[in-house]
Amino acid sequence: MVVPILADLVSKLNGAKNLRLKSVEVVVSKTSFKVVFLLQQIGVIKRFVILNSFERGHDVKLRVYLNYRGDGLTMFKSIKLVSKPGRPVHFSLKSLLKAKEGAFDSHIFIMSIKGRGVVLDQECLEHSLGGIPLISVEFF
């Protein structure tokens, strides 16, 4: 199941932010690897390094380097897991637009869309699609 790995990723990134660590080591799946790649695209993390290869029967580990501003703070305020196994959430296009215009205007959602995989909320808006929000990234 992907959600416990995503929950671990979110927990480790928030912990690294609070402790002002330069990097953190995480176990990834294919979905969470794509999430890490998208976090790099939006500037939350500086880079990541694959510590071992995608071999059958082995957990893939990444070293993720957080991106800090000049004043010593991270680029993000918080990262939260939105959909959980016991509480799945689905955003229609209308509810995604409402969330982006309302209380979540400083957030970027990383969404899972059937047939397209894991994408940023901006791609959902461009293609007029809804989806399952996996992670919410709040910026300062």
- Which CATH number do you get for residue 62? 3.30.1370.30
The count of domains in the chain is: 1
List pLDDT tens digits, range 73-97: 999 999 999 998 788 899 999 999 9
pTM above 0.85, yes or no: yes
Report, as an integer, the average pLDDT of 54-80. 88
Residue 67 pLDDT exceeds 80: yes
Query: CA quadruple 116, 119, 124, 129: dihedral positive or negative?
Result: positive
Token duo for residue 60: 């893939």
Judge contact between 93 and 113, C-beta under 8 A. Answer: no
Distance of alpha carbon 98 from alpha carbon 86, whole angstroms:
24
Query: CA quadruple 27, 54, 45, 111: dihedral positive or negative?
Result: negative
Which residues form the domain of 19? Answer: 3-139
* pLDDT band at residue 100 under the 50/70/90 scheme: confident
Number of H helices, E strands in the chain: 4, 7
List pLDDT tens digits, range 12-34: 999 999 999 999 999 988 889 99
List pLDDT tens digits, range 119-138: 999 999 999 999 999 999 99
